[in-house]
Structure 1
């Protein structure tokens, strides 16, 4: 198979992204880190973060080795698996972990430099924090596209001349998404437990009981809290969005290989089109990054506008560029497919704006939560939960409209429900997810900026830089809370579209597994008693063969299990945070009572003990919930078959999407309600209103930083596991 010359823009864009990430990193490193005290604090955080990540990667490596051996056994002994799967799985996990590592390394060096820059001005602090966040964004898209390009080149060489080459290549490439998803889930869950155990302990004992400021050096948990921001919100988030980015591109390519299989030339174009759009998105993201700047004394709305300018310009330009790309590639129905991309982009913008409205204290929902603090923590919690529930309406309606529009645009509004119409419509849904994530380079920069700004504020407080500097870092931190919530909304929105596209990819993988079984001598009999030939069957034939309809109890049971899995996963991770936080609270109380002179500033707390508690708790608690996400699809596939798995994925998608939006928005709103009170509203710091919002923020911490953001990985990981285990599911079919 000849690779077209236009393909080479993909590795070129990835190398460009990685090169610019290196440039931004070097620029950041040239900045002054500040006073000796600032350097000391940054060093504590950096060492703690790297020590945790090293320990986490040891645990994850062990899990990966075991899973890779299982896949190798399935491929080379049972012959129910593609022989490339073990290797693809390992590379997906490796690159995902690498993206998180580079992002976190940058963040731990950037926070003190951001605090130091804030001493001379708000714009300078914003620029350093944002450019450092851009390293994370560019590394993710650069490594993601590089991994995709390399696998496409390698597999094209080995499958050259095969009439099913592109179908086999794209479905094989999908399996490295499972490696990325597995790594991401461990990173998100482990990092989330780490950071929230420290955060809750620091807030409840330090701010509520001891009445000392946030990030006060007298608080033993404050270093662990700052470490947690990096391992959870940077390393975890980087791995998370790496798999979202790759998953959307690969699932769309896999659908394209099937939907346009009749015409070999058009099939190849449909496969590489999402990769080309993502590559052009990298160049436009770089342009957007350079547009972000602000002025001294900027309000929250002005700061939000500064970041929005960069992301919105990149989004508008990629929308225009998509029409040009698909026209020049002469994609069938290029206008309709372009509008599908536009649907995804528009959905991302709407979800982002809705998230900003419900979580920023510039708007009424969060202001009302802060106002509820006048009657105590109970009303703060009630109001926050209610706001989070209401906030799900706009994202759910938006993603529903985007699904319908992208489907209809791509198949020329063909409502016949023929196999060809459905396949092309599903291609539209997949490429809409690509559109939503095409400017991830800058979108993720706005997200990764948040924990850097948060750590900068902590460094400023612990280094006693003065009220003016702290006001600037507080403004940057509050902006980061909103951008982080917006980023989580973006991630879960893309997860919904990607997971839907993965459903179609699952059917295609079942088809390949059945063909492999037929070659091994197995036969399949349909419901009418006739022999079923998977090589000539279309998607509707497969739905009929496996009775994937709402009257099939296996489908309904699968849907219930999928919905339950989302709640079970959240319950387990929330419980893990609660147990770890209890240990942390007891340790902080012990130090306050046993180490004399801490609260007077005459003795140094034992920071290392708190870091150790968070590390040990995260390592112990992250394994079971993460493995559960892998085990459930396998068990459902073996016991309930393809119909049960389809129900599981639909139930997990719908419940997980709504629950994730609710948790992310509730948590973000509680956090910014606290920030609003700390800025002087309703009495300001140290008042009963402040303590009430701290309790609300403490409840919201695992909502927005542990359970909520992990759900979008859960949705896609269950899909990826189902795809990888399709051969085992087929082998269990009783004929």
Structure 2
């Protein structure tokens, strides 16, 4: 089934990993600076690694239980593909590995970035961005390598009557390792988000508001935990998150391609290979974009943003040409290139809309800052209102993206459902094709933030702190943009996964021996049934109460999940606030600099809080699709996924943008506007920022994983849903 073009995919994966190593080695050659800088970086690195080891112990236990369940389902009642348990395990392993490597790089890079900023703004930007690029390249490299190895393994072992059937079985089997990646990503996002925001809220409320000291002042007991949290939440969590988005989009599109071209054996493998090749070319073009990112001394926020945009935009423009080349080499319809372009443009528009609503260079965030003149209540009201309004452009953009990508691939006909959905999948691949550089801009953010903290705690001087503040403010914007981008890609990927779920249902029915479907007065062979046939067979219409029930429960899940994670942050933050207050009260000499705070105790509180609180929300996301399938069957599950996708997407955009806007409103005042640091206006925006912290760094980003994880669980449990349902 393989052809020579397939080998481009693993070769590009290896190139990505090689350059990730080169950038890592280059960063490690930089000096960490003074002994104080080294000591502070060591505290952060030790705390981050200790947390991650503890998190992986909990996740490993969950994975062992689920693997045992999948193995029993496969080898016992035969409801599961025998490869699923192993695919699930490898997906989780590579997702966790991507996050671990990215976080390790970030903890070594922060002090080096601060030290490079002592020389110039451009040197600081270069070290931070190249270190962030390690994360981007590791994610795409490991993902493409994992996909390539799995294809080779299954191509060798899977035996079916025809090559066409074999391709469908392989692609649907490969989808299941996405559940492992999604499960690991959710634990990383939820756990890391709870850790970082508990520390951040404690540091801000007691340090900034009550004690009146700077955010990263070494006298603040929670400051090390805050810096550790930036790494475990925004680096390890984001890496695992986008690893599963990247894999999910490629694998879902491959499965849809296998189904859409099942009547054309010669074209089928090419349709499967197309998303992999587009992603492979994206690796090379991301590398080119990374080398284009540089700036000049004294650059403004707009100039710094343009420096990053230059790399992203060049990569995005060139991937358009690369997609035409891929489609030409594979002999597919050139209209599919239109879907790729739609995906790219959709991602760019969502990113720009997020930038507009969250950067303090623009009016919405400046207006939030100005509302601080009447206190924290109006800051919060204004931020919530801005976040709600900010959902309009991303939602309209996604709607246009879905329609246009569908029509391009289906050659402007709504009748060809299979090809249209393949187009939606390929649009998601297009959006994520340059992930190597777009993720670099995201991972850059916490590195710059930690660099600023190191500069403050090491008392490096006003000029250096000004440079790190500029890099940090840019990082807040890129982090917000990255979250919008991740959520947008989740919407397209989630839709492709729902379509892939039907293909898995087909295989589940065939495994049970259901060779024909009776649809009204017609009888259709299960193997030949189309997506429309399955919609009719399971009565997936808005008049079906099972579908409506699923939509309501899916929508509810988005809010319940956010409520659980927000309350988890609140409980952990309360403990942190009480601990910081205790230390200020009981440890003599903290405020004068004669006594040293107990940083380790604050790290311990965040770690315990995160480990305890992350389990229930994460398991709920796994259990609900299974329960829905057992009670309401296939139609109920499709309703659940549709409700979760629609509500989860809008809610995630709202939370990410409002949180980002509150954060940058605070930064706007800290730059000397409206009274500057320590003013009543500043304290009001600090309150707004603490409300926004769990919005943008815990609940919001976790929602895009929830959307995809529920779909992945539904796909993996499709055999059980086919065999058992009460209604």
Give 1:28's aligned residue.
27
- Verify: 1:697 aligned to 2:698, yes or no: no
Select the residue among 683, 695, 698 that pairs with 2:675.
Answer: 683
Task: Give 2:318's aligned residue.
Answer: 317
Paired residues of 2:388 and 2:654 also in contact (CA < 8 A): yes
Q: Which residue of 2 aligns with 1:175?
A: 176
Q: Give the whole-Å Cα distance in 1 for the aligned partners of 2:93 and 2:266.
A: 33
Contact 1:122 1:472 in 2 (8 A): yes
| Cα gap change, 1:524 to 1:338, in 2 (>3 Å) | closer
**Residue 460 of structure 1 aligns with which residue?**
455
**Aligned match of 1:625:** 617
Within the candidate set 599, 609, 612, 2:601 is matched to 609
CA contact (8 A) 1:337 1:409 kept: yes
Q: Deviations over 1:369-390 (max 9, x none)?
A: 0000111000000000000000
1:472-551 equivalences under 5 Å are 472-518=467-513, 526=518, 528=520, 533-551=525-543
Q: Would you say the 8 A contact 1:513–1:726 is kept in 2?
A: yes
Please report how far the alpha carbon of residue 160 of structure 1 lies from its aligned counterpart in structure 2 after TM superposition: 5.2
Q: Is the 8 A contact 2:356 2:362 kept in 1?
A: yes
Aligned runs of 1:138-537 on 2, under 5 Å?
138-159=137-158, 162-163=161-162, 164-331=165-332, 333=333, 335-415=334-414, 417=415, 421-518=416-513, 526=518, 528=520, 533-537=525-529
Return the alpha-carbon distance in structure 1 between the equivalents of residues 527 and 276 of structure 2. 28
**Residue of 700, 703, 706 corresponding to 1:711:** 703
For residues 296-355 of structure 1, the C-alpha deviation after alignment (integer angstroms, 9 at most, x for no partner) is: 010000000000000000000001111111012111x2x210000000000000000000
Distance 1:371 1:10, change over 3 A: same
Are 1:645 and 2:640 an aligned pair? no
Distance 1:494 1:528 in 2: 37
Q: 2: CA distance between counterparts of 1:619 and 1:523? A: 47
**Whole-angstrom CA distance in 2 between matches of 1:615 and 1:203:** 18
> For the residues of structure 2 that align with 1:259 and 1:578, how far apart are their CA atoms?
48
Instruction: List per-residue Cα deviations over 1:131-183 (Å, max 9, x = no partner).
Output: 00000000000000000000001101112564111000000000000000000
The Cα shift of 1:532 comes to: 5.9
Report the Cα offset of residue 78 of structure 1. 1.2
Counterpart of 1:211 in 2: which secondary structure? coil
Query: In structure 2, what is the Cα distance between the partners aligned to 1:7 and 1:196?
Result: 43
Distance 1:255 1:531 in 2: 24
User: SS of the counterpart of 1:448?
Assistant: helix
In 1, Cα distance between equivalents of 2:407 and 2:521: 35
Is 1:655 matched with 2:644?
A: no
Q: Deviations over 1:392-429 (max 9, x none)?
A: 000000010000000000011013x2xxx100000000
CA distance in 1, matches of 2:124, 2:357: 26
Q: Give the Å deviation of 1:527.
A: 5.8
The alpha-carbon deviation at position 523 of structure 1 amounts to 7.6
For structure 1, which runs of at least 5 residues remain unmatched after alignment?
none
CA distance in 1, matches of 2:500, 2:519: 24
Q: Which whole-Å CA distance do the structure 2 matches of 1:188 and 1:211 have between them?
A: 31
| CA deviation string 1:80-110 (max 9, x = no partner) | 0000000000000000000000000000000
Indicate the SS of the match to 1:535. helix
SS, match of residue 526 in structure 2: coil
TM-score between both structures, scaled by the size of structure 2: 0.99
- 1:576 is matched with 568
CA distance in 1, matches of 2:517, 2:103: 53
Q: Deviations over 1:195-217 (max 9, x none)?
A: 00000000000000000011000
Structure 2 unmatched ranges of 5 or more: none
Deviations 1:617-643 (A, max 9, x none): 000000000000000100001100010
Counterpart of 1:587 in structure 2 is 579
Change in Cα spacing, 1:734 to 1:358, as seen in structure 2 (3 Å) is closer
Instruction: Report if the CA contact (8 A) 2:201-2:690 is conserved.
Output: yes
Pairing 1:51-70 to 2, within 5 Å after superposition: 51-70=50-69
C-alpha distance after superposition, 1:434-469 (max 9, x if no partner): 000000000000000000000000000000001111
Whole-angstrom CA distance in 2 between matches of 1:59 and 1:249: 29
1:669 aligns with 2:661: yes
Shift of 1:534: 1.6
Contact 1:340 1:409 in 2 (8 A): yes
Aligned length: 725
Structure 2: how far apart are the matches of 1:729 and 1:430? 24
Q: Is 1:563 the counterpart of 2:564 in the alignment?
A: no
Q: Distance in 1 between matches of 2:692 and 2:560?
A: 18
Counterpart contact for 2:515–2:527, Cα < 8 Å = no
- Asked whether the 8 Å contact 2:632–2:726 carries over to 1, the reply is no
Change (3 A) 1:604 1:496: same
Once the two structures are TM-superposed, the CA of residue 524 in structure 1 deviates from its matched residue by: 7.1
Whether the 8 Å contact between 1:523 and 1:531 is mirrored in structure 2 is no
The ranges of structure 1 where at least 4 consecutive aligned residues each deviate by more than 3 angstroms after the TM superposition are 522-533
2: CA distance, partners of 1:578 / 1:365: 27
